[in-house]
Amino acid sequence: MTPEAVHEMLVEMLERLFEIKDPGLDEDLRDGYDFDSIDAIELLAEVEEQLERELTHEERKQAMEIRTLRDIENYILLMQKG
């Protein structure tokens, strides 16, 4: 998946799942949209589905540090390589 495709997928996913519309790449989702750990778990399930693989415990642990759309994009691009 290209970086552009990842971005489009995430923007659609954030709007569909969490009603987050057009977040800035570096906008803190937790502060700006009350994105909490339960939301993060739901997002991870969607990411796993898109990557067509289950994330490891360590990969999930890393994901809990995500704060911005850019963080999520970089995370997915890294997971695609793994």
Q: Which CATH number do you get for residue 38?
A: 1.10.1200.10
pLDDT value of residue 40: 87
For residue 82, what pLDDT band results from cuts at 50, 70 and 90? low
Number of domains in the chain: 1
pLDDT of 81 above 80: no
The H-assigned helical ranges of 1-82 are 3-18, 29-33, 37-51, 57-63, 69-81
Using an 8 Å Cβ cutoff, are 3 and 77 in contact?
A: yes
Nearest to 74 by CA among 13, 1, 19: 1
Range of the domain at 35: 3-81
Global pTM value:
0.84
How many angstroms from the chain centroid is the CA of residue 33?
14
